[in-house]
Structure 1
Amino acid sequence: MSFTTRNGTRGARQPKASRLMKWMNDRAAHRIRTKGGKFLGFNALVLTTVGAKSGARRANPVGWFPTGDDDSWLIVASAAGGPKNPAWYYNLAAHPADVTIEMAGAKVPVIAEQLHGTERDDAWRRITAAAPRFAQYQEKTDRELPIIRLTRRSS
């Protein structure tokens, strides 16, 4: 399936990119890479994508949810309910097969796929049951929050 979610027209205010935000993301990514575990109350991983325009590698800490399969993970492009999709969403759309995730010292090559229809609906119910904060994010914006399944690539 394709990455088809457009930006919305309303949503939560997003912090501007700054040195402080970069430092915080870098610190969180380092902690997740070395210790794994939770970050901001979520199971966390470091998502490394290839820039859609720049071609540069970009790493972002994100929360993940189980799929019931040990070889896949769900992430939500929520941007905390902001009107725009996060930049990493467009990176995944441009290069869905050139993605890696890292957790507690393990680096896993994955393929990204956006969920749609009943598959998305089922995943959304599981995600909001586990983390009601995401239902609040959805209420803040008029875009449907994209759910992405990351599946381990065979070597």
Structure 2
Amino acid sequence: MAAGVRLIQKVSSTRTFARIAPYVVPAMDRAVHRLTRGKVLLSARMLPGVILTVRGAKSGQPRTTPLACMPEHGSTGGGSTSWILIGSNFGRPGHPAWTANLLAHADEAVINWKGHDIAVRARLLEGAERAEVWQAALTFWPPYATYQARVEREIRLFRLERRDTS
């Protein structure tokens, strides 16, 4: 593993990062994503990322959130067929708002993945399926273990799968 990645993982596991990152990282991602017309997501230089758009659980208004993701590849090879979203909230108390939005409007989400809008269906992972994906997430980004250790809630995991829009 490159020294730079280890350093980023160490920094992202700190409480200071957890306090600052939720305000700085999404704002930078939104600005760069908008300026590059969806071609660049700054945080994706560390982890793959998507821009999630889903109606607010309470407001009903479209909510757009840049998020790290864990792409899953299908047996056909090539591009991602599904994506895992981890509601870590940087190890802060409380589930992030976007998780409530997905629970309320699971069949209406859209992600922007590498500049392409893709209609997706979200599913909250539970039980053995969640446990298996959680282990994969810890291998993918070890700081998730630190985030989980800081909070009493179980971090929500969602699988997003392409949905037919025809």
Q: Same fold (TM over 0.5)?
A: yes
User: Which residue among 61, 64, 73 is the counterpart of 2:66?
Assistant: 61
Compared with structure 1, are the counterparts of its residues 28 and 37 closer, same or farther at alpha carbon in structure 2 (3 Å cutoff)?
A: closer
Judging by fraction of residues, say which structure has more helix. Answer: 2
Distance 1:89 1:43 in 2: 18
**TM-score for both structures, normalised by structure 1:** 0.81
Deviations 1:7-39 (A, max 9, x none): xxxxx6656x87x77743422543582135852
| Structure 1 stretches of 4+ moved >6 Å | none
Structure 2 SS opposite 1:144 = coil
Map 1:1-155 onto structure 2 (within 5 A). 14=19, 23-30=27-34, 33-35=38-40, 39=44, 41-69=46-74, 70-155=80-165
> Could you list the runs of 5+ residues in structure 2 that have no partner in the other structure?
1-14, 75-79
The Cα shift of 1:68 comes to 3.3
Identity across matched positions, percent: 30
Structure showing greater relative contact order (alpha-carbon pairs closer than 8 Å, 6 or more residues apart): 1
Structure 2 SS opposite 1:34 = coil
Deviations 1:39-79 (A, max 9, x none): 26110110111011111111111111133323211010110
